[in-house]
């Protein structure tokens, strides 16, 4: 069975005709002095910003939106709704933008992943063992400085009590050498284990995220900027590697140093510890605020760079269209806006982060100063009241309760704790980056078969603010992501041994999730018999491509059902259904590899003979054989090294090599017509 899609000649509008349709409007506007402002407004909107033109030019503006969407190649770069749409959701989005200008949290902000979600990318027992060993040696390394505080504080009394030669000095020297060797071993093993863990986690993270993106249904790809996610995949994995690698080890090390230093300070002088406890809220409050600022900065910057990556990918992947439209300045402007947002989100919090860092370190210096003064007061009081020895070096005199080594040890403990705390900020920032990167991936990874429908707020574009500064603000829209029932990686569903190819639409209604109020089908009934050729003809937007999407089961109907050989397609295995279908669009997508590999995508285990046979049936073998490298010829990105007809023939061969039972063709072209006769 074959379904061919073609458009009504009168309603088919090419890109050139679309541009011509803009010209008369522009010319009229230029000839009418009263319309200069209106024309300027229209041109501003066509370039992605400015005020909207009056309603009479609404259709042209909608076309301009589609043109910009064509260039950006992303559903999220430009709003998918008309600027004149009175949908309450769009009004809500505009109100949200006003709130965002005041610094309130956006609805599109993604909360960071939990620690357990980040560690979930270490699934095996070996990974967890390596992490445990890294934690152990990190703690050992962190205890080095508190140990040094103990030795330093007691070394003076030990040296003062030495009566013969350098024996005591030699003993202390050997102890310090031993501690240095211990620190060398602990630091080396700490870095080794955490680096191994981080590389394994980053590798698992990339594979899990990529697999999750590929198994999502079309509704997910319609709502989320998947091109932006794909662009962010590499940078996100780098942040995961950094957050779970050496920086995490240093965080454990310096955190242990902080806790150990304070613990030893308490041990050395319990009275001094009361002063420390009284001042700790200032230190801990600054540390908590620093962690929050780092976390929010990382999450916002990650989202902004994702939008920038999506814009760059869309422009570069459609570079010929961009050049033909002289749209390079506009693409640069869009990318500049996206990167400027990332720059602002990265730079604006730096003053606050600097102040909080200074406050945290300043509170430690204050703690050190107060402890020194209070320790001196305690020693002075003990000496004055009991005539004790504050040094602890004179055997004939009673040692003071608040001795010099005790107070000095408390001061060293606090100093080393301050040193550890000052280094924690980098580790916290790295781990916060890993949590933010993980959160973006978890949106796809956690959406598994059977997940309920949920409301999603995403950025759909940007516009200039109505305020005097004229800055661009995000335009947000809220969609309903349907229940997840189409999983191409699932083994669930029936797999009939024989497929005849009869497709029946029974009272089918359907609307896209991004336009739920715009019904494409409302009670459609259609029967396509096995072995028959059926052509669907109609205007743009008439539902021809939607029919293909439903047959391929990219979407499920909102009501009614679609059957294949009398079986509801929801009961069939998704991969099995698609293995029985071959689809070739008017602009087929080829991958940046050889012709042989492109054809084998239709049947990965196909032999060379099968590939050549499919190429012959598609009338592609002759021109492939004329290439110097034959079937090993590289086609370039999206097949740019080939002509349009050659790409279509290779795409047809890719379909035919799998011997599909249903052949779906886009707008009818001569290459498809010739190949069809061979297939029949």
Mean pLDDT estimate for the chain: 76
Residue 241 included in any domain: yes
CB 297 within 8 A of CB 349: yes
**Residue 77 shares a structural domain with residue 168:** no
Helix (H) or strand (E) holding 662: strand 662-665
Stronger pLDDT, 199 or 358, i.e. the higher one: 199
Per-residue pLDDT of 106-148, as tens digits, reads: 555 678 888 888 988 988 889 999 999 999 999 999 999 999 8
Residue 548 included in any domain: yes
**Pairing state of beta strands 472-481 and 454-464?**
antiparallel
598-627: burial string, b at 16+ Cβ within 10 Å, e else: bbbbbbeebeeebbbbbbebbbbbeebeee
**Residue 293 shares a structural domain with residue 161:** yes
**Residue 181 shares a structural domain with residue 219:** yes
Residue 566 has a pLDDT of: 92
Instruction: Please tell me the least confidently modeled range out of 93-102, 449-458, 537-546.
Output: 93-102
Share of the chain above pLDDT 70, in %: 73
Residue 496 included in any domain: no
CA 639/CA 671 separation, integer angstroms: 16
CA 658/CA 579 separation, integer angstroms: 8
Per-residue pLDDT of 315-370, as tens digits, reads: 776 777 777 778 888 888 878 877 777 777 777 777 887 887 787 777 777 777 88
CA 544/CA 558 separation, integer angstroms: 17
Predicted confidence (pLDDT) at residue 458 exceeds the cutoff of 90: no
* Residue where one domain finishes, among candidates 103, 123, 156: 103
Residue 108 included in any domain: no
Residue 159 has a pLDDT of: 57
* pLDDT mean over 190-199: 94
Q: Which residues pair with 431 in a beta bridge?
A: none
Residue 464 has a pLDDT of: 67
**Residue 99 shares a structural domain with residue 158:** no
Q: At what angle do helices 246-268 and 144-160 cross, to 10 degrees?
A: 40
Predicted confidence (pLDDT) at residue 483 exceeds the cutoff of 50: yes
Residue 383 included in any domain: yes
**Residue 146 shares a structural domain with residue 228:** yes
Quote the domain boundaries for residue 551: 503-679
**Residue 97 shares a structural domain with residue 166:** no
* Residue where one domain finishes, among candidates 82, 103, 124: 103
* Residue where one domain finishes, among candidates 423, 445, 467: 445
Stronger pLDDT, 188 or 168, i.e. the higher one: 188
* pLDDT mean over 7-31: 39
Predicted confidence (pLDDT) at residue 650 exceeds the cutoff of 70: yes
Residue 627 included in any domain: yes
CB 529 within 8 A of CB 504: no
Per-residue pLDDT of 151-176, as tens digits, reads: 887 776 665 555 555 677 788 888 88
Predicted confidence (pLDDT) at residue 460 exceeds the cutoff of 60: yes
Instruction: Please tell me the least confidently modeled range out of 21-30, 264-273, 647-656.
Output: 21-30
Residue 4 included in any domain: no
Adjacency order of strands within the sheet including 567-568: 521-528, 503-510, 559-564, 567-568
Per-residue pLDDT of 418-435, as tens digits, reads: 778 777 878 888 888 888
Q: What is the CATH number of the domain that holds 636?
A: 3.40.50.300
* pLDDT mean over 465-494: 79
**Residue 85 shares a structural domain with residue 128:** no
**Residue 618 shares a structural domain with residue 674:** yes
**Residue 167 shares a structural domain with residue 195:** yes
Instruction: Please tell me the least confidently modeled range out of 46-55, 273-282, 671-680.
Output: 46-55
Tokens of 449: 């078969």
CA 57/CA 46 separation, integer angstroms: 12
Per-residue pLDDT of 251-301, as tens digits, reads: 999 999 989 988 888 888 777 777 776 776 777 677 777 766 766 666 666
Looking at the 3D structure of the chain, how many domains does it have? Answer: 3
Q: Which of 217, 234, 223 is nearest to 447 (CA)?
A: 217
Given pLDDT bands bounded at 50, 70 and 90, which one contains residue 584? Answer: confident
Q: Exposed/middle/buried for 81, CB within 10 Å: 0-12, 13-18, 19+?
A: buried
Phi/psi region, residue 501 (left: phi>0; alpha: psi -120 to 50; beta: rest), is left
* pLDDT mean over 520-539: 90
Instruction: Please tell me the least confidently modeled range out of 82-91, 312-321, 474-483, 613-622.
Output: 82-91
Q: What is the CATH number of the domain that holds 351?
A: 1.20.1560.10
**Residue 423 shares a structural domain with residue 536:** no
**Residue 437 shares a structural domain with residue 523:** no
Given pLDDT bands bounded at 50, 70 and 90, which one contains residue 386? Answer: confident
**Residue 192 shares a structural domain with residue 274:** yes
Residue 318 included in any domain: no
Sign of the dihedral defined by the CA atoms of residues 287, 293, 296, 298, in that order:
negative
């Amino acid at each position: 069975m074959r379904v061919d899609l073609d458009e009504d000649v009168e309603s088919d509008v090419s890109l050139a005709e679309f541009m011509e349709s803009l010209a008369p409007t522009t010319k009229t506007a230029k000839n009418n002095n009263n319309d200069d402002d209106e024309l300027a407004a229209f041109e501003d909107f066509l370039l992605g910003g400015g005020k909207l033109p009056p309603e009479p030019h609404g259709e042209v503006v909608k076309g301009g939106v589609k043109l910009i969407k064509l260039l950006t190649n992303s559903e999220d770069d430009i709003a998918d709704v008309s600027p004149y749409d009175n949908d309450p959701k769009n009004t809500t989005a505009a109100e949200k933008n006003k709130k965002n200008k005041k610094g309130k949290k956006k609805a599109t902000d993604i909360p960071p992943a939990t620690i357990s979600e980040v560690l979930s990318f270490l699934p095996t027992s070996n990974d967890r063992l390596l992490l445990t060993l890294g934690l152990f040696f990190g703690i050992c390394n962190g205890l080095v400085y508190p140990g040094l505080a103990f030795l330093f504080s007691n070394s003076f009394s030990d040296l003062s009590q030495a009566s013969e030669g350098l024996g005591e000095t030699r003993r202390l020297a050997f102890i310090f050498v031993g501690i240095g060797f211990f620190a060398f071993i602990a630091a080396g093993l700490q870095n080794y284990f955490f680096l191994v863990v981080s590389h394994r986690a980053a590798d698992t993270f990339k594979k899990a995220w990529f697999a999750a993106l590929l198994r999502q249904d079309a509704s997910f790809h319609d709502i989320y900027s998947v091109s932006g996610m794909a662009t962010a995949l590499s940078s996100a994995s780098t942040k995961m590697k950094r957050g779970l690698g050496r920086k995490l080890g240093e965080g454990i090390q310096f955190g242990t140093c902080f806790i150990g230093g304070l613990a030893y300070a308490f041990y050395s002088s319990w009275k001094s510890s009361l002063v420390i406890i009284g001042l700790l809220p200032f230190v801990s409050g600054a540390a908590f605020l620093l962690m929050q600022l780092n976390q929010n900065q990382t999450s916002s910057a990650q989202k902004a760079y994702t939008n920038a990556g999506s814009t760059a990918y869309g422009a570069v992947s459609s570079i010929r269209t961009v050049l033909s439209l002289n749209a390079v300045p506009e693409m640069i402007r869009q990318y500049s806006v996206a990167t400027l947002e990332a720059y602002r989100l990265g730079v604006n919090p730096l003053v606050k982060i600097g102040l909080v860092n200074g406050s945290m370190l300043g509170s430690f210096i204050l703690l050190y100063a107060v402890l020194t003064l209070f320790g001196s007061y305690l020693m002075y009081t003990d000496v004055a009241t009991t005539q004790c020895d504050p040094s602890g070096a004179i055997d004939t005199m009673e040692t003071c309760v608040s001795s010099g080594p005790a107070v000095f040890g408390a001061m060293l403990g606090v100093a080393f704790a301050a040193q550890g705390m000052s280094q924690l900020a980098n580790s916290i920032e790295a781990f916060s980056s890993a949590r933010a990167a993980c959160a973006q991936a978890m949106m796809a990874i956690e959406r598994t078969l059977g997940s309920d429908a949920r409301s999603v707020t995403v950025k759909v574009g940007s516009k200039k603010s109505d305020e005097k500064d004229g800055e661009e603000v995000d335009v947000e829209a809220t969609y309903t992501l349907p229940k997840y029932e189409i999983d191409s990686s699932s083994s669930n569903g029936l797999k009939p041994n024989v497929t005849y190819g009869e497709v029946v639409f029974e009272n089918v209604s359907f609307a896209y999730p991004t336009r739920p109020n715009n019904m494409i089908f409302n009670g459609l009934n259609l029967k396509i018999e096995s072995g028959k050729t059926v052509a669907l003809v109609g205007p743009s937007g008439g539902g021809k491509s939607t029919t293909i999407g439903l047959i391929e089961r990219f979407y499920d109907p909102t009501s009614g059902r679609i059957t294949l050989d009398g079986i509801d397609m929801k009961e069939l295995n998704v991969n099995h259904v698609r293995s029985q279908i071959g689809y070739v669009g008017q602009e087929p997508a080829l991958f940046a590899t050889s012709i042989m590999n492109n054809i084998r995508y239709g049947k990965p285990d196909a032999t060379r003979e099968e590939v050549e046979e499919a190429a012959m049936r598609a009338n592609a073998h002759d021109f492939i054989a004329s290439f110097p490298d034959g079937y090993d010829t590289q086609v370039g990105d999206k097949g740019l090294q080939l002509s349009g007809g050659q790409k279509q023939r290779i795409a047809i061969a890719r379909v035919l090599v799998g011997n599909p039972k249903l052949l779906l063709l886009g707008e009818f072209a001569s290459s498809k017509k010739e190949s069809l006769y061979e297939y029949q």
